[in-house]
C-alpha cells in the first residue's frame, strides 16, 4: 500500500513517520525544495501542483491520496480524484478554505461561531461588530492575513479589494481544540480537548488536560463529531474553539487535516492523530485512541530552534527538529513535547 501525501511540511513529515511505524509506504508531492517530509518518505516529487506529467506519475504510484495542508489548489485535487481516491473529500476543502463559507456551514448546524459579516458585500457595517478582526477569506494561516480593526473609521482606511471577512473580536478566556478521526465505516473517535496558547496569533503551547468545565468539554466534543459527520469527513481533522469570559463557546475554525495542537498525541496516546489519519484514509483496522500520559507541547518558532539544537534533551522530553533549510521569523522550525 502506498499513501500519497500532497504537501511536504512538518505535518507531512509526522504523517510519514507514523506511516513507517505501521508499515505503510508514502509518496510526498510538494512544490517546495524546503520540505521536511521528503526526508522521511520512500518516494517524493518536487514540482508545481499543476504539473500534469508529475501528477500522473504520482497518481499511478499511489493507492490512496491525502493532503497535509488545506490550501492545495482545488484543481489539483479535482484532477487526482478522477483516477484515485482522495481523503478527506476535496469538496470539503471548498468550504473550509473559505472563512465565510466555513462559518456559514458551521452555523447551519446550529453551532455558534463569532459574529461575522461579508465585509465586501454588506451595505451597512453594524457598530456592534467592533472591536473586530479583519481576515482574508482564503489562504490565511498562523495569523497571516489578519488585523485588528476597532472602528468604522479604521475600516474605512482599508482597501477592501480582496475577499475579506470581518468578525467580532472575542474577549478570550481560553482557546482549545478537539482532534477527531472518522473512518470510512462512519466510526468516529475523539481525543480529549487540548488547551492552546497563541502568541502573535501563532500557536505557542498546547497541553492536556485542558482546564475547562465538563459541560463545555462535552458540548465541544458533540459539536466536533457533528461537524465531522456532516462533512462526511474521512481522516483526522481539528476543530478550534474559543471560550469567552462569560463561558460562551464558539467554533473558531476547522482544519481539514492533522493539526499542530495534536503533536502531543504522539507521546500521550496509544495511537497518535497521525496514525489515526493513516488508518482512516487507508481503510485499515481502526484503533481507539487511549490516553497514556498528560503532556505539554512547545512550538519552536524562528530562532527558538537554535537553543534546542545543542541542548541535551532530558528524560520525558521529546524534541523534534523539522530540519528546514532556512530559519525565518514566525516559521515553525520544531517542537518539544514534555510528559507531565
Ligand atoms: P489561522 O487560520 O491563522 O489559525 P485563526 O482565525 O485561527 O487563523 O486566528 C489565529 C488566532 O488569532 C486565534 O487562535 C486567536 O488566538 C486569534 N483570533 C482570531 N480571531 C479572533 C477573534 N475573533 N477574537 C479573538 N481572537 C481571535
Ligand atoms: Mg487557527
Overall size of the chain counted in residues: 340
CATH code of the domain covering residue 163: 3.30.1490.20
> Domain boundary at 152, 168, 184, which?
168
Residues 325, 185 within the same domain: yes
Ligand closest to 202 (CA) is 1
234: which 3 cell numbers? Answer: 474521512
State the pLDDT at residue 184.
98
Backbone angle region of 125, left / alpha / beta, with phi > 0 → left and psi within -120 to 50 → alpha = beta
Residues 76, 202 within the same domain: no
Residues 314, 246 within the same domain: yes
Residues 192, 142 within the same domain: no
Q: How many domains does the chain have?
A: 3
Distance 177 CA to ligand 2 centre (A): 10
CATH code of the domain covering residue 225: 3.30.470.20
Backbone angle region of 182, left / alpha / beta, with phi > 0 → left and psi within -120 to 50 → alpha = beta
For ligand 1, what atom is nearest to the CA of residue 145? 3
Handedness of CA 139, 143, 145, 150 (dihedral sign): positive
CA distance 7 to 21: 20
203: which 3 cell numbers? Answer: 500557536
Mean pLDDT, the chain, whole residue set? 96
Distance 143 CA to ligand 1 centre (A): 6
Residues 143, 182 within the same domain: no
Residues 162, 185 within the same domain: no
**Mean pLDDT, range 324-328, rounded to an integer:** 95
- Nearest Cα neighbor of 283 from 180, 182, 179, 190 is 182
Classify residue 104: in a domain, yes or no.
no
Classify residue 97: in a domain, yes or no.
no
> Domain boundary at 124, 150, 168, which?
168
Q: What is the DSSP string of 38-90?
A: GGG-SEEEE--TT-HHHHHHHHHH-SEEEESSTTS-HHHHHHHHTTS-BSS-H
Residues with CB under 6 A from ligand 1: 114, 133, 140-143, 167, 169-170, 172, 175, 198, 201, 240, 252-253
End-to-end CA distance of the chain, in Å?
37
**Mean pLDDT, range 149-177, rounded to an integer:** 93
The answer to whether 94 and 231 have CB atoms below 8 angstroms apart is no
Give the 3-state DSSP-derived string for 230-263, with helices as H, strands as E and coil as C: HCCCCEEEEEEEEEECCCCEEEEEEECCCCHHHH
Classify residue 259: in a domain, yes or no.
yes
State the pLDDT at residue 128.
94
Distance 238 CA to ligand 2 centre (A): 10
Question: Which residue has 478522477 as its cell numbers?
Answer: 82
Asked whether the predicted pLDDT for residue 87 surpasses 90, the reply is yes
What proportion of the chain, given as a percentage, has pLDDT over 90?
Answer: 90
Q: Where are the alpha helices (DSSP H) in the chain?
A: 10-21, 52-61, 74-81, 90-96, 99-108, 152-156, 214-230, 265-268, 273-281, 304-309
CA distance 248 to 246: 6
Bridge partners of 314, per DSSP, are none
Distance of CA 46 to the CA centre of its chain: 22
Residues 297, 178 within the same domain: yes
Ligand closest to 204 (CA) is 1
Pocket test for ligand 1, best of 102, 133, 204 (most atoms within 8 A of CB): 133
Classify residue 229: in a domain, yes or no.
yes
The answer to whether 203 and 194 have CB atoms below 8 angstroms apart is no
Classify residue 91: in a domain, yes or no.
no
Q: What is the pTM of this model?
A: 0.96
What proportion of the chain, given as a percentage, has pLDDT over 70?
Answer: 100
The answer to whether 104 and 116 have CB atoms below 8 angstroms apart is no
**Mean pLDDT, range 322-327, rounded to an integer:** 96
CATH code of the domain covering residue 37: 3.40.50.20
- Cis peptide before 131, with omega less than 30 degrees from 0? yes
> Domain boundary at 105, 136, 168, which?
168
Residues 144, 202 within the same domain: no
pLDDT digits (tens, 9 = 90+) for 276-292: 999 999 999 999 999 99
Residues 20, 68 within the same domain: yes
Asked whether the predicted pLDDT for residue 143 surpasses 80, the reply is no
Print the domain residue range for 145.
115-168
Residues 122, 270 within the same domain: no
- Nearest Cα neighbor of 229 from 191, 186, 282 is 186
Residues 164, 249 within the same domain: no
Classify residue 226: in a domain, yes or no.
yes
Ligand closest to 198 (CA) is 1
State the pLDDT at residue 228.
98
Residues 130, 247 within the same domain: no
State the pLDDT at residue 311.
85
Q: Atom 2 in ligand 1: which residue has the minimum CA distance?
A: 141
Amino acid at each position: 500500500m502506498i499513501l500519497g501525501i500532497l504537501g511536504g511540511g512538518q505535518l507531512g513529515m509526522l504523517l510519514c513517520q507514523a506511516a513507517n511505524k505501521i508499515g505503510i509506504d508514502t509518496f510526498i508531492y510538494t512544490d517546495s525544495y524546503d520540505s521536511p517530509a521528503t526526508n522521511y518518505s520512500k518516494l517524493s516529487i518536487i514540482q508545481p501542483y499543476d504539473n500534469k506529467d508529475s501528477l500522473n506519475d504520482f497518481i499511478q504510484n499511489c493507492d490512496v491520496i491525502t493532503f497535509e495542508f488545506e490550501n492545495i489548489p482545488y484543481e489539483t485535487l479535482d484532477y487526482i480524484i478522477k483516477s484515485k481516491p482522495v481523503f478527506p473529500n476535496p469538496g470539503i476543502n471548498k468550504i473550509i478554505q473559505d472563512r465565510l463559507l466555513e462559518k456559514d456551514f458551521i452555523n447551519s448546524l446550529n453551532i455558534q461561531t463569532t459574529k461575522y459579516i461579508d465585509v465586501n458585500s454588506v451595505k451597512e457595517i453594524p457598530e456592534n461588530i467592533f472591536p473586530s478582526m479583519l481576515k482574508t477569506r482564503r489562504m490565511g494561516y498562523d495569523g497571516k492575513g489578519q488585523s485588528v480593526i476597532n472602528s468604522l473609521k479604521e475600516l474605512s482606511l482599508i482597501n477592501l479589494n480582496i475577499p475579506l471577512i470581518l468578525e467580532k473580536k472575542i474577549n478570550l478566556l481560553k482557546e482549545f481544540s478537539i482532534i477527531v478521526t472518522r473512518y470510512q465505516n462512519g466510526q468516529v473517535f475523539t481525543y480529549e480537548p487540548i488547551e492552546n496558547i497563541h502568541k502573535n496569533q501563532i500557536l505557542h503551547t498546547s497541553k492536556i488536560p485542558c482546564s475547562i468545565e465538563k459541560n463545555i468539554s462535552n458540548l465541544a466534543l458533540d459539536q466536533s463529531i457533528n461537524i465531522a459527520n456532516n462533512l462526511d469527513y474521512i481522516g483526522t481533522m481539528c476543530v478550534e474553539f474559543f471560550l469567552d469570559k462569560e463561558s460562551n463557546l464558539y467554533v473558531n475554525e476547522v482544519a481539514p487535516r492533522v493539526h499542530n495542537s495534536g503533536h502531543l498525541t504522539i507521546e500521550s496516546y496509544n495511537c497518535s492523530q497521525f496514525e489515526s489519519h493513516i488508518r482512516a484514509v487507508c481503510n485499515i483496522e481502526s484503533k481507539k485512541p487511549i490516553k497514556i500520559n498528560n503532556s505539554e507541547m512547545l512550538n519552536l518558532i524562528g530562532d527558538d530552534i537554535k537553543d534546542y539544537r545543542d541542548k541535551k534533551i532530558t528524560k520525558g522530553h521529546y524534541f523534534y527538529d523539522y530540519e528546514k533549510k532556512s530559519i525565518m521569523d514566525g516559521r515553525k522550525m520544531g517542537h518539544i513535547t514534555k510528559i507531565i
